[in-house]
Amino acid sequence: MNFKEVENQKKLISEVLTHVSGKTKLFEICSFYSSLIDANDKNLINAYSLDFIYELLSELKSFTPFFQKPEKTESLLSLLNKIKQIDTLKSFVDELNANILHIETSLSQLKNILNGTEPVSQKQMLSFPLLESVSNINQQDSFGVLESFSVRITKNKNQNKFIFVPSEKKIEERLLLQAENSFQLALNYFHWHKKRLSKFHEVLIYFENHTASYEGNSLGAALTIAFIERLSLIYNLPYVTRIKGNIAVTGGVDETGNIISVSSEMCRKKVELVFYSDIDTFVVPKADEEHARNKIAGLNKSYSNRKLNLVAVEGIYDLLNRRDLIDIKKQPVVVRAAKGIRKNWFVSTLSVILLLILSFLWINNYDDNPFTYELEQNQIVIKNKYNRSLWEIDYQGGGEYIKKMKWAPALETYFRILDVNGDGKNEILFCYASNSKYSNASYSDGLVLFNWKGEILWRRGFRKDLFSRREHLTPPYSISIFDTLKINNNPCIICCSNNVNSYVSAAYILDLSANKVISDTLWSPGFINDIRVIKGINGNEKEILVLSCNNSFQKNCLSKLMLNELKGQLLVTNDYKFLNIREAKVLNCFLFPNSDYNSFSKQRMNGTVYRSLTVSKEAKTIRFSINEDSYEILGKVFYNWHYDTNEFEISIGNDFRVMRDSLVAHGELPLPYTDTKEYREKLRKQILAWDGDKFIPLDEYVTKRAAQK
């Protein structure tokens, strides 16, 4: 490609981006970067690489590997790893790395579901598959989402009124007609209670996915079920209808309740979308059953352990009669009576609620589920996904480091939003300091779990004594949190406790639902700054990477172990060795040099960057960064370990280059200049590797391991 061709492609994609959204938009942007990189012209790449970077980062924030083939996401990750190597995009590397890590984590979860090593979600939810661009249904690549919605129904005086949020100014005709049909079918279902039902209603249908375009009638069956469920509740009927399981439904319904075919090609596309999700059961029109089953059979050739239950139904009442999918239970008399007593109170406030329904502000206030956060003075403000403040976590007295956090993954070591019990409501993990309001006599520094309301479910600390040849090591310990994982289908997290008064740190696995440590303890002669769980290179067993400083060698250290060998003590010299604790079974261990700048600054050693480990399976590399100017959190040197060859690549951060080069220019430090092949090679040759008996130079280790293969 030349400049003219790139300019033409840029104009074409700029036009396309105004008409698309979601994954379609993301992969259009990626096609531009792919063509640009393939041109292999550095001047061309640098000239155009910034044109779509903000759009790319914006789309990556909402990207999920679900609903499409894993190969498509792996191709995206490969491209992102190339994009972050572009010179003009160096200032975006941290944000790109954070997105890459998030995508890799979600992709791993999807692969586990496809391979049958992780069960599909057990949540009770009704959704329908929605393709981003139905007009392009015959294209090879089509993207979509699993859409879910909530329904609010209130009595109306003069007419039935349907409100869709979000929607265009004019509601698409087929969508409105389908909503009217579905609602009438729901009313007919309660014909024996006709006298109790209002003649007219106002119906709010709120779609969770704000970027989707809603057309057609394929959500008709799902709407009918949702209307029936809601009507049984608002009229306090004897029987309540609820969804049973995590199911997806497609197909419109006609006036008589027949479920309408979505077409063979559309059905195959939607089956593929649902197959690459956590859905347990997919309901399709009976007319599309053969196409759906053939598509699942084809997909199972690649993923034989993915069990997607297919249910084909002819009409809406056939679906309602399926007790494995729809739960219809009689309400206890006492419960119905209590609801009736409260009815007058609801009526008195109904007018206010009806006014709020029409505004986004009502939707904002309806959602009380923690989703995001904002750092303020001495507080972490917990917010819902519409950015409304819900409640606060006070981190006064121990939050100085939190205040300096500029990179979200680093903050994750102190604070995490996650659904612990799988009920759809997020809990909050927070690591507090000794003078925090959450501290008590038992746990001076510790970990607390809040429920979605901000109420404390439990708190814990770490209190262990041990001895080294140097000293008696006693509490208190701080706590940091690292990777999440599932063990025996229970949500767990790897914790690290760093001793407040000395050099020792400990890593262990905590079962979050039971508030119980379920592993042995891995001890380190220096603070641990990151831990990652990875899949073993030569098999499916999980391994862990531990990035730490090693006080005994006065160097930073990267260790790799089997997850089930999370015990013992990492490699250490005799005077720092912990008594009566065996040596850990490390698979790999490397020590990294302190630079001449670090020595000039009269610092004991440099420092690894909190939460900087990233793993790229595509490039077979493990990347992390070290601060040579550790007190300022600047001066980064980046190390890339090619774990298949044990070679290291080193790149220099811009801040470190400027700081060191200024000293070289004034004769304070010797040549070569910093961001040169000579200086990078000088650092590389100082890397030491553990050969099972002792630490040896990296080149000697590489030769030795190659010979062993």
Alpha-carbon distance of 588 to 606, in angstroms, equals 21
- pLDDT of the residue at 336: 45
pLDDT (average), residues 166-182: 76
Alpha-carbon distance of 465 to 579, in angstroms, equals 11
* 132 Ramachandran zone, left/alpha/beta (phi>0; psi -120 to 50): alpha
Alpha-carbon distance of 345 to 221, in angstroms, equals 33
461-494 pLDDT, tens per residue? 898 889 988 889 888 898 999 999 999 889 999 9
Query: What does the domain layout of the chain look like in residue ranges?
Result: 3-114, 125-331
Structure tokens at 514: 């039971």
pTM of the model: 0.52
645-684 pLDDT, tens per residue? 999 999 988 888 888 888 888 888 999 999 899 999 999 9
- pLDDT of the residue at 332: 54
| b/e per residue 241-252 (b: at least 16 CB within 10 A) | bebbbbbbbbbb
Nearest to 79 by CA among 122, 32, 111: 32
1-17 pLDDT, tens per residue? 677 787 888 888 888 88
- Least confident piece of the model among 124-133, 179-188, 260-269: 124-133
Residue 428 has pLDDT above 60, yes or no: yes
210-243 pLDDT, tens per residue? 444 566 678 888 899 888 888 888 887 777 777 8
**Chain centroid to CA 137: how far?**
29
Which alpha helices (DSSP H) does 235-389 contain, by range?
264-275, 289-300, 316-320, 333-341, 343-357, 360-366
Burial class (CB within 10 angstroms; exposed 0-12, middle 13-18, buried 19+) of 59:
buried
Q: pLDDT band at residue 156, thresholds of 50, 70 and 90?
A: confident
Strands (E), 512-620: 516-517, 522-524, 528-535, 542-550, 555-562, 568-569, 586-592, 607-608, 614-616
- pLDDT of the residue at 136: 42
pLDDT (average), residues 241-250: 84
- pLDDT of the residue at 341: 42
H/E run at residue 200: strand 200-207
CB 579 within 8 A of CB 621: no
Residue 338 has pLDDT above 70, yes or no: no
Specify whether domain 125-331 bears CATH 3.30.230.10: yes
Alpha-carbon distance of 198 to 196, in angstroms, equals 7
Alpha-carbon distance of 382 to 364, in angstroms, equals 14
- Least confident piece of the model among 116-125, 399-408, 547-556: 399-408
Alpha-carbon distance of 205 to 370, in angstroms, equals 22
Give the phi and the psi of residue 558 in degrees, each rounded to 5: -120, 120
Nearest to 210 by CA among 141, 276, 153, 149: 149
H/E run at residue 58: helix 53-61
Q: pLDDT band at residue 603, thresholds of 50, 70 and 90?
A: confident
Between 225 and 338, where is the model more confident? 225
Nearest to 551 by CA among 535, 538, 569: 569
- pLDDT of the residue at 335: 44
